[in-house]
Structure 1
Amino acid sequence: MLIRAAIALLAGVTALLLGLLALVLVDADAEATEISDGGGGLQGVPTEFRVWILRADSECKEPAMTPSLLAAQLYQESRFQTRATSPVGAQGPAQFMPDTWATWGRDADANGITSPLDIADAVMAQGRMMCSLLRQAKESGYGGDVRALALAGYNAGWGRVEQYRGVPPQSFAGGETYNYVRIILSTMPRFEGPGRLEVSGSGAGADALRKAAARIGTPYAWGGGGPNGPSTGFCDGTNGYLNGRCSASTTVGFDCSSLVQYAYWDNRQLPRVAAAQYGATSDHPVAHADLRPGDLLFWSHGGSGAIYHVALYAGDGKVLHAPRTGKDVRVEPITSAMPQRDYLGATRP
């Protein structure tokens, strides 16, 4: 009788643990205190996580990926605790199991250590894994929200999603995966920043930045936009496509250079494309340490003849830009806006 009672008690405790989603054991010293609000479509996250969430989002080309999705998932996994561990052996803020970490973990911040307890390594690995799962979900043909399918794959393994041809039901694992998905999707709005940018000062640069900031949230449309505002774009055989279809021709928005042209038009009529904008302003180069709001930043695949992106400096190490098809006009850190190795330089119109 005592043995049966002990077994029953153990079963009850196990069920309770399964019902407590993303249960973690936390080192009190890992408590995050500073919270960053607004800008880049993200708010309410510890400042040390912000840059990596935004970078992970920027490196994923799946439209369903958003900073708020990654933030809500991190909150559910660990409450942003760097030393979080689980009873089954998951570690770090993104709660990676050792076998999974071996697949996705990399030294994202180049500090010589690859660890699931390292914020940069963990968040970038989370982003890569979620990006892959979102792509699998999209290609699977299973019904429902691709974000829900990807989250279920992260929590229970993609094999379980295939087994149930969707999110595992509430009867699976005591409802852990079912509720994990439901809670994350429902808490995403708390991390969705307004993306607004407060611009102070006067002059052509500040005025241009202020004008562009009013367009935060406008979709990206390859070839779209101009001095008069956003418009539909076009596809050129390579650019403007989303999920194999020409998105630009039906999307009213800006691309990177048309946003810059629109922003400056009242003070200076810049050319339409990024390379020409560099040519028109390269006589006023600006060192990184001397950047002012409204300065133009350029990225290239190799010299001024291969410029592919332009952005407006937004202050505080951030840029305002139109990133690519499937994204919208937003504020992001310079370090994650585009690959750092491609940064060519800055100019002042």
Structure 2
Amino acid sequence: MKALVGAAAAVIGIVVLGLLAVVGVVIADDDAAANETSGGGGLRGVPEEYRTWILKADAACQEPEMTPALLAAQLSQESGFQQRAASSAGAQGPAQFMPATWATWGRDDDHSGETSPWDIGDAVMAQGRMMCSLLKQAKASGYPGDVRALALAGYNAGWQRVQQFHGVPPKSFAGGQTYNYVQSILAAMPRFEGPGLLQVSGSGSGPDALRRAAARIGTPYAWGGGGPDGPSLGFCDGTNGYLGGKCVASSTVGYDCSSLVEYAYWPSVKLPRTAAAQYGATSDRPVSRSDLKPGDLLFWSHGGSGGIYHVAMYAGDGNVVQAPRTGRNVEVAPLTSAMPERDYYGATRP
């Protein structure tokens, strides 16, 4: 923050999910479909080195008011995306953290071996964590107005100032610094809103489920994580959830392949939790590969229905949406290479 107001003034970084470059598109033919997938996942107009982290930070927060565009507009206001930005008040880095605030929110999110407000990944993730917390506080407060505005005011001036004024501090407070900060960021958000990561046409349970899954593109894979309520911490079972010999699932908030599908269809279709069980629950409605429609489930197996190990959702145009494996993120990928072609077992329609 460029001129922090009060000792508790804070600046944060959010955890944003990586976005894979391979994206298949089904052109939306109705406004409702386009709107559902464009506001949360789309992002434009940011330096490439920030893009992945912004998406990660957004995906790590389950508050719907959090969007990539909100984080991007805030970073633009804080530092203009300048990594080495510093203020006369002592704020540091692209998210302009004061040292005391950084001590609360900073983590080594980029795994560089150092927790630093000057590191883009560390800073953006911390920004996101704090904003996510502030959004929760804003909703619980009952104060009138846009909860995003309340959270931004808390980020700039400290939450105690929001409590003092029962809302965003007025123009008369601190020369209008916080008031103008909030208004500038909210006004700038449309500049950073890109098209949806995957635009889906049509209506019905399949397209609706695909839209929900597409909104989670970029969310990390977490073995055992996720469910109907959204992403969650995973776990390691002795075989799965490891990367480079280290258990990463237990510290990763995300989905595995079947929890993403469960989340996408819930609550209109309450599918079971695992890929094999999802096949069992839908196998009486098989679909040939030539007749696939958006939202159909695709399964891969090491041998028969008892060997099913992966499920994905058909996204149209020969692509799938899937949570592939540990170390990767929810992505759009070609059906022919999403998993080994020889393991493809079949498709069903929930």
TM-score, with structure 1 as normaliser: 0.56
- In structure 1, the partner of 2:200 is 214
Quote the RMSD (CA, aligned, Å).
Answer: 4.8
- In structure 2, the partner of 1:193 is 194
CA distance in 1, matches of 2:206, 2:324: 21
- In structure 2, the CA distance between the partners of 1:278 and 1:161, relative to structure 1 (3 Å rule), is farther
Q: Higher relative CO (CA 8 A, sep ≥ 6), structure 1 or 2?
A: 2
CA distance in 1, matches of 2:49, 2:211: 37
- In structure 1, the partner of 2:221 is none
Deviation at 1:146, TM superposition (A): 0.4
- In structure 2, the partner of 1:55 is 56
Kindly provide the CA deviation profile for residues 194-230 of structure 1, in whole angstroms up to 9, marking residues without a partner as x. 1266xxxxxxxxxxxxxxx4349x9xxxxx7227987
CA distance in 2, matches of 1:296, 1:252: 19
Give the structure with the larger helix fraction.
1
Q: Contact 2:43/2:195 (CA < 8 Å) preserved in 1?
A: yes
Deviation at 1:265, TM superposition (A): 7.4
Q: The residue matched to 2:66 in structure 1 has which SS?
A: coil
CA distance in 1, matches of 2:333, 2:264: 25
Residue 314 (structure 2) pairs with residue 294 (structure 1): no
CA distance in 2, matches of 1:189, 1:70: 12
Residues 67-106 of structure 1: pairs in structure 2 closer than 5 A:
67-106=68-107
Q: Contact 1:96/1:116 (CA < 8 Å) preserved in 2?
A: yes
- In structure 2, the partner of 1:277 is 299
- In structure 2, the CA distance between the partners of 1:228 and 1:152, relative to structure 1 (3 Å rule), is closer
Residues 74-223 of structure 1: pairs in structure 2 closer than 5 A:
74-195=75-196, 213-215=199-201
1:226 pairs with one of 196, 199, 206: 206
Aligned length: 237
Deviation at 1:254, TM superposition (A): 12
Kindly provide the CA deviation profile for residues 114-141 of structure 1, in whole angstroms up to 9, marking residues without a partner as x. 1101000000000000000001101111
Deviation at 1:40, TM superposition (A): 3.8
- In structure 2, the CA distance between the partners of 1:111 and 1:195, relative to structure 1 (3 Å rule), is same
Q: Contact 2:210/2:294 (CA < 8 Å) preserved in 1?
A: no
- The residue type equivalent to 1:166 in the other structure is G
CA distance in 2, matches of 1:231, 1:295: 12
- The residue type equivalent to 1:74 in the other structure is L
- In structure 2, the CA distance between the partners of 1:106 and 1:284, relative to structure 1 (3 Å rule), is closer
- The residue type equivalent to 1:124 in the other structure is M
Q: The residue matched to 2:319 in structure 1 has which SS?
A: coil
Deviation at 1:297, TM superposition (A): 3.6
- In structure 2, the CA distance between the partners of 1:229 and 1:73, relative to structure 1 (3 Å rule), is closer
Q: The residue matched to 2:333 in structure 1 has which SS?
A: strand
Q: The residue matched to 1:82 in structure 2 has which SS?
A: coil
- The residue type equivalent to 1:76 in the other structure is Q
CA distance in 2, matches of 1:96, 1:89: 8
Q: Contact 2:318/2:334 (CA < 8 Å) preserved in 1?
A: yes
- The residue type equivalent to 1:97 in the other structure is M
Instruction: Give the unaligned 5+ runs of structure 2.
Output: 5-37, 213-226, 231-262, 311-316
- In structure 1, the partner of 2:234 is none
Q: The residue matched to 1:313 in structure 2 has which SS?
A: strand
Residue 247 (structure 2) pairs with residue 267 (structure 1): no
CA distance in 2, matches of 1:138, 1:84: 31
Q: Contact 2:200/2:210 (CA < 8 Å) preserved in 1?
A: no
Residues 20-35 of structure 1: pairs in structure 2 closer than 5 A:
none
Residues 237-252 of structure 1: pairs in structure 2 closer than 5 A:
239=228
CA distance in 2, matches of 1:46, 1:40: 16
- In structure 2, the CA distance between the partners of 1:265 and 1:123, relative to structure 1 (3 Å rule), is farther
TM-score, with structure 2 as normaliser: 0.55
2:333 pairs with one of 292, 313, 325: 313
CA distance in 1, matches of 2:138, 2:211: 31
- In structure 2, the partner of 1:289 is none
- In structure 2, the CA distance between the partners of 1:129 and 1:142, relative to structure 1 (3 Å rule), is same
CA distance in 2, matches of 1:265, 1:157: 57
Deviation at 1:249, TM superposition (A): 11
CA distance in 1, matches of 2:43, 2:229: 26
Deviation at 1:176, TM superposition (A): 0.3
- In structure 2, the partner of 1:9 is none
- The residue type equivalent to 1:277 in the other structure is F
Q: The residue matched to 2:205 in structure 1 has which SS?
A: coil
- The residue type equivalent to 2:127 in the other structure is Q
- In structure 2, the CA distance between the partners of 1:102 and 1:215, relative to structure 1 (3 Å rule), is farther
CA distance in 2, matches of 1:85, 1:105: 17
- In structure 2, the CA distance between the partners of 1:278 and 1:61, relative to structure 1 (3 Å rule), is farther
CA distance in 2, matches of 1:57, 1:228: 21
- In structure 2, the partner of 1:28 is none
Q: Contact 2:300/2:309 (CA < 8 Å) preserved in 1?
A: no
- Specify the structure having the higher radius of gyration (Cα): 1
Q: Contact 2:149/2:182 (CA < 8 Å) preserved in 1?
A: yes
CA distance in 2, matches of 1:49, 1:215: 30
